[in-house]
Amino acid sequence: TTDFFGKQIIYINVLRNMSVDCDCAGLAAAPPTTPDIGILASTDILAVDQASIDLIFALPDAAKHDLQERIESRRGLRQLSYMKELSMGNDQYELITIE
């Protein structure tokens, strides 16, 4: 748990080959329709998840449509507001690009 590891945890989101389906669907998953964005990392779980959503939602409509519709229709954004309510992190962040 985060209580045990404290500040020794890094959260990593890989925004690559994004499909509307779960990875657990395997070969039956819908094909990816969202372009690769990259890899995000943070010591703040809320910041990395908020940045991931912001980057996806900033894509052109054609590139984000399927994934955004799936997130919104499943109330996926509630995770972010609930983490903020629980004081699990900060939804403000600074993106630093490393190439």
pLDDT, tens digit, for every residue of 34-57? 999 999 999 999 999 999 999 999
Show the low-confidence residues of the chain (pLDDT under 50).
Answer: none
DSSP string, 30-47: PPP-B---EEEEES-HHH
Residue 5: what pLDDT?
83
Let me know if residue 97 belongs to a domain.
no
Let me know if residue 94 belongs to a domain.
no
Let me know if residue 35 belongs to a domain.
yes
Let me know if residue 51 belongs to a domain.
yes
Let me know if residue 95 belongs to a domain.
no
Give the structural domain span for 8. Answer: 2-85
E-strand stretches of the chain? 11-15, 38-42
Let me know if residue 81 belongs to a domain.
yes
Domain count, the chain: 1
pTM assigned to the model: 0.90
Residue 1: what pLDDT?
58
Let me know if residue 55 belongs to a domain.
yes
Q: For residues 84 and 21, what is the distance between their CA atoms, to the nearest angstrom?
A: 26
Let me know if residue 96 belongs to a domain.
no
Residue 96: what pLDDT?
96
